Amino acid sequence: MTEPFGKRRLKAVKEPYDAEAFVTRIKSLLEQRNETGRGAALKASLDHQTIYRVFTGQRPSMVTCILLANHFEVNPNEFLELASWPTLKVFEIETKSAEHLPPEAVDVALDIAKIPDSGTRKQVAEAIRILLKQYILD
């Protein structure tokens, strides 16, 4: 049986927080979108200094992680994990079984999964879909 969420959250509060990974990810997303921290925070319906506080090492709340993930169009569990919070089942992505796919499709999916940056991964997946649409229409 898994530990109740409340207990996992309390443990996370007591654990030390290392902001480096979260800050690096936010900076990367801001650069990709050519956006300021203030602008991103406001568009995410947060206080205009939220990202500044994250950059200074303050742990963002779970709600802040979710709102920022929504703004940056990434899975909220990624931000929750980077901020040392427990992940939420509601954001877990259900994956289809690879056993029903042709080996070539599995190989492509595994190659895409190796791309560390989720923004780049998303762009590659979209490019493949465009190629597939052109191939299927021809």
- Residue 34: what residue type? N
Q: 49 with 113, same domain?
A: no
Residue found under tokens 């303050």: 58
CA dist., res. 110 & res. 113, Å (int): 5
Q: 16 with 49, same domain?
A: yes
pTM tops 0.75: no
Supply the range of the domain harboring residue 103.
98-137
- Of 104, 105, 95, 12, nearest to 60 by C-alpha is 12
61 C-beta neighbours (distance < 10 Å), count: 13
Alpha-carbon distances of 127 from 97, 116, 121, 130, rounded to whole Å? 23, 17, 10, 5
Q: 71 with 113, same domain?
A: no
Question: Quick one: pLDDT at residue 57?
Answer: 94
Q: 61 with 14, same domain?
A: yes
Domain count, the chain: 2
Kindly report, residue by residue over 61-96, the tens digit of the pLDDT: 999 999 999 999 998 999 999 999 998 888 876 655
